Structure 1
Amino acid sequence: MQTEKVADHIINWLKDYTTKANMNGFVIGVSGGIDSAVTSTLCAKTGMPTLCLEMPIHQEIGQTTRARKHIEELSHNFANVSSLEVNLTPVFEEFRKGMPQHRETDSLDLALANSRARLRMTTLYYFAGLHKYLVAGTGNKVEDFGVGFYTKYGDGGVDISPIADLMKSEVYELGEYLNIIDEIMKAAPTDGLFGDSRSDEDQLGASYDELEWAMKLKEDGKTGADLTGRKREVFEIYSRLNSANKHKMVPIPVCEIPVHLKK
């Protein structure tokens, strides 16, 4: 990948899109992970106002430490960057208390985790509305178009997706070029939605490198029938997630009414 040219292309695309949309800048949720670090840095490099929000909800301490350090670095290097911490833990707890009580299950854990992401989306759009900013998404290609590893109308609810055409490995290449802090570059990727240190790989059952390999194989029209061992296992994981999360990656179905029924 021609890393410098890719970075310049994204920065110019961000400036051009935002100017044509008659918007003032960007708001982005910074989590302490590589995707939000790269995206916020690219937004900052446009020279347009960039608001970085930290939105902890019972967050694991390592994630908040990395997020704060990245924001400090960004604010030091770019005069157009501002930041806020909005502690959503009390909001989340009130939401949880207001819901009907259910016994603890994996489904309940997932529903609450997705609710965290949607509370953050609502917060991002609150500030976007205040300042006439665009909400910048942080999803990469594997997450957004491969395995659907994001929350519908949560971190998937954005205005623009600067890095969604880049594989995770390519995001890391950009991270190195942009001098993202070592703590983030070396941290295991995590969505941070469960209040613990579980990684994306723990949840997905495969690493991003493995999923990239499977995604490229699938795009080449391969069925995986000739694979064995770990390769077959990874291909099946990718295929299962791609199928199960397809509803996130295609347009919302619209029930089209036959013309004769409208007469």
Structure 2
Amino acid sequence: MNTEKVVEYIVTWLKDYATNAKVNGFVVGISGGIDSAVTSTLCAKTGFPVLCVEMPIHQAENQVSRGREHITQLKNNFNNVASVEINLTTTFDNFKKAVPTIENEATVAMSLANTRARLRMSTLYYLAGLHGYLVAGTGNKVEDFGVGFYTKYGDGGVDLSPIADLMKSEVYKIAAFLNVPNSIQIAQPTDGLFGDSRTDEDQIGASYDELEWAMIQDELGKTESDFTSREKEVFKIYKQRNKANKHKMDPIPVCEIPKELK
């Protein structure tokens, strides 16, 4: 990958899109992770105003500190970057008190994790509406089109996706080129939606390098029978996730009424 040229291409794409859409800038949710750091830096390089938003919900301190380190670096390097912290912990806790629950703790935990992401999406769109900004998505290719590792109408609810055609490994290369803080570059990827230390790999059962490999094999038309041992296990994980999350990646089904019935 020609990293410098890819960065230039994405920045130009963002500038052209914002200009044609007649908007004032971008808003990006900052998590302390590699994807949001790269996305916000690319947006900053457009010259358009960029609002970086921290939205902690019972967040681990190391995630918060990494996000703040990144925002400080951005502000030092770009005069078009502003930031705001909106602590959604009380909002989330009040939501939990207001809704019913069930005995299955795992199901409740997953539903609440997705609720965190949807509260953040609503917050980003509120701010985007105030300022006339676009919500820039932070998903990469493996997450968005491989295993569907994001929340529908949560972090998947965005106006445009500048890094969604980049594999995770390519995002890391761009992060290094952009001098994203090293603390973010070496951190284990995590969605931070459960309030504990679990990583993306803990949840998925495979690393992003393994998932990239499986995605490429799937695009080549390979099947599970083509592999053995760990490769077979990873490919199976990829295919199961891909199939289960098609509802996120495909357009919303529309019940089309036959003309003769109208």
TM-score, length basis structure 2: 0.99
Match of 2:246 in 1: 246
Distance 1:94 1:240 in 2: 35
**Superposition deviation, residue 125 in structure 1:** 0.1
Q: How does 1:9-20 map to 2 (within 5 A)?
A: 9-20=9-20
Match of 1:119 in 2: 119
Q: Is the 8 A contact 2:101 2:108 kept in 1?
A: no
Deviations 1:105-126 (A, max 9, x none): 1110000000000000000000
Question: 2:191 aligned with 1:168, yes or no?
Answer: no
Distance 2:51 2:253 in 1: 34
**Superposition deviation, residue 76 in structure 1:** 1.0
What percentage of residue pairs aligned between the two structures are identical? 68
Deviations 1:23-45 (A, max 9, x none): 00000000000000000000000
Distance 2:226 2:18 in 1: 47
Runs (4+) off by over 6 Å: none
Letter of the aligned partner of 2:234 in structure 1?
Answer: V
Letter of the aligned partner of 1:170 in structure 2?
Answer: E
Aligned length: 262
Distance 1:151 1:234 in 2: 22
Match of 2:58 in 1: 58
Deviations 1:144-198 (A, max 9, x none): 0000000000000000000000000000000000000010000000000001111
Match of 1:32 in 2: 32
Moved more, 221-230 or 157-166: 221-230
Gaps of 5+ in 2: none
Match of 2:194 in 1: 194
Moved more, 130-139 or 215-224: 215-224
SS of the equivalent of 2:247 reads: helix
Distance 2:160 2:24 in 1: 14
Match of 2:70 in 1: 70
Match of 1:224 in 2: 224
**Superposition deviation, residue 219 in structure 1:** 0.4
Match of 1:108 in 2: 108
Letter of the aligned partner of 1:39 in structure 2?
Answer: T
**Superposition deviation, residue 226 in structure 1:** 2.2
Letter of the aligned partner of 2:69 in structure 1?
Answer: K
Gaps of 5+ in 1: none
